[in-house]
Amino acid sequence: MAELLAVRGLRVEFATDRGPAQVLDAINLDVGPGEVVGLVGESGCGKTTLARAILGVLPEGPARIRGGEVRFKGTDLLREDPATVNDRVRGRAITFIPQDPFTSFSPVFSVETQIMDLMKWKSPRATNGGPSPLLGRYPAARYRADREAVLATLRDVQIPEPARALRRLPHEFSGGQRQRLMIAMALLPRPDLIIADEPTTALDVTIQAQILKLLRALVKERGVSVLFTTHDLGTAHEICDRVVVMYAGQEMEAAPTEAFFGRPAHPYTRSLLASVPSAGGEIRDIPGEVPSLVAPPSGCRFHPRCEYATAECREVRPAPSMLAGGHGVRCHHPIVGADA
């Protein structure tokens, strides 16, 4: 498989009052071209931190990158010149769909102003990073071409009457419509990778279904890769080609969607799937609580809650091992061969 994005051994710490919290502990992650990868895990497991580390938008004060690399199309974004990353990658080759469509627009400017501002800097037709920040002129010919592209993309995300919609203010759109606008803005720079951070969590289930259907169709048609973070396993099953599960800052298992849900090999994945409520069935939880990241458990961070844990698990973090069919797992005692 050709690689588009490869994260290797990424470590991120956050300074807190009680000492540094090890939020990402030597994370590996791969996204291939045209692939929709789900990043699942419970709140606080580091999904959003990982997404932000890839985009290079970690909070500057508390966050410290302690090692590892983020390879995007062969260049390590952590060691590349920040100005080049800003120019060519962030917002262009890698775009972002936020969780909350309600606070992601400025309430005082029309949607047109906000989308055209994006296009001024990040349009695929702009050469070397758009106009200079000081002069800030937007060439008229490119403006017209960009505006056509905006209208076409709004039609693609099924915004009725795009030309009129552009003149409206964000509050005149419903949550579902605003998320459609966000998807349009993520697609407009013609990215190779879209990072979508829980894009449907704030929406009702029928609207969520519409948005997921739309997003999957659009990215498959354009061959764009998506890294889709979510805590809802049903949503991950719905939209992803491959799923990666994280626990307390470590990745545990990465597998094609069918294998992930059908033949999970990691004990954590199994407990997580078992805690999804089923029809009239028994409700099973995972005993214990998510550990503190300031003083995380040694070795495999899931070992205090794992029924298979041995002395080895307490000492050494398992190395990635590969099962059949691109199914990777990091566990000393993977459950192989049995169905879930």
Partner 1 sequence: MTPPLLELADLVRHFPLRNAFGHRVGWLRAVDGVSLAVHPGETLGLVGESGCGKSTLGKTVMGIYTPTAGDIRFAGREIGRLAKRERRAVAKDLQYVYQDPGASLDPRWKVGPLLHEPLRIHTRLSRAEREREVRAILAAVGLPDAHLDLYPHELSGGQQRRVGLARILTLRPRLVILDEPTSGLDVSVQASVLKLFRSLQETFALTYVFISHDLSVVRAMCARIAVMYLGKIVELGDTAAVFEKPRHPYTQSLLAAVPLIGARRISQDFRLEGEPPNPRDVPSGCRFRTRCPLAQARCAEEEPALRPLDGRTVACHFA
Q: What is the binding site for partner 1 (CB under 8 A)?
A: 42-43, 174, 176-177, 204-210, 212-213, 216-217, 231-235, 237-239, 261-262, 271-273, 275-281, 283-286, 289
Closest approach, Cβ 312 to partner 1, in A, equals 25
How far is residue 245's CA from residue 230's CA, in Å, rounded to a whole number?
A: 10
Which of residues 49 and 271 has its CB atom nearest to partner 1 in the complex?
271
Which of residues 68 and 101 has its CB atom nearest to partner 1 in the complex?
101
Which of residues 98 and 131 has its CB atom nearest to partner 1 in the complex?
98
Start-to-end Cα distance in the chain: 27
Closest approach, Cβ 243 to partner 1, in A, equals 11
Closest approach, Cβ 291 to partner 1, in A, equals 12
Closest approach, Cβ 142 to partner 1, in A, equals 35
Q: For the chain, what is the HEC assignment?
A: CCCCEEEEEEEEEEEECCEEEEEEEEEEEEECCCCEEEEECCCCCCHHHHHHHHHCCCCCCCEEEEEEEEEECCEECCCCCHHHHHHHHECCCEEEECCCCCCCCCCCCCHHHHHHHHHHHHCCCCCCCCCCCCCCCCCHHHHHHHHHHHHHHHHHCCCCCHHHHHCCCHHHCCHHHHHHHHHHHHHCCCCCEEEEECCCCCCCHHHHHHHHHHHHHHHHHHCCEEEEEECCHHHHHHHCCEEEEEECCEEEEEEEHHHHHHCCCCHHHHHHHHCCCCCCCCCCCCCCCCCCCCCCCCCCCCHHHCCCCCHHHHHCCCCCEEECCCEEECCCCCCCCCCC
Which of residues 76 and 204 has its CB atom nearest to partner 1 in the complex?
204
Closest approach, Cβ 174 to partner 1, in A, equals 6
Closest approach, Cβ 329 to partner 1, in A, equals 19
Angle CA(73)–CA(77)–CA(80) in degrees, nearest 5?
Answer: 110
How far is residue 340's CA from residue 264's CA, in Å, rounded to a whole number?
A: 7
Which of residues 209 and 335 has its CB atom nearest to partner 1 in the complex?
209
Which of residues 61 and 287 has its CB atom nearest to partner 1 in the complex?
287
Closest approach, Cβ 212 to partner 1, in A, equals 5
Which of residues 146 and 198 has its CB atom nearest to partner 1 in the complex?
198
Closest approach, Cβ 179 to partner 1, in A, equals 11
Which of residues 148 and 258 has its CB atom nearest to partner 1 in the complex?
258
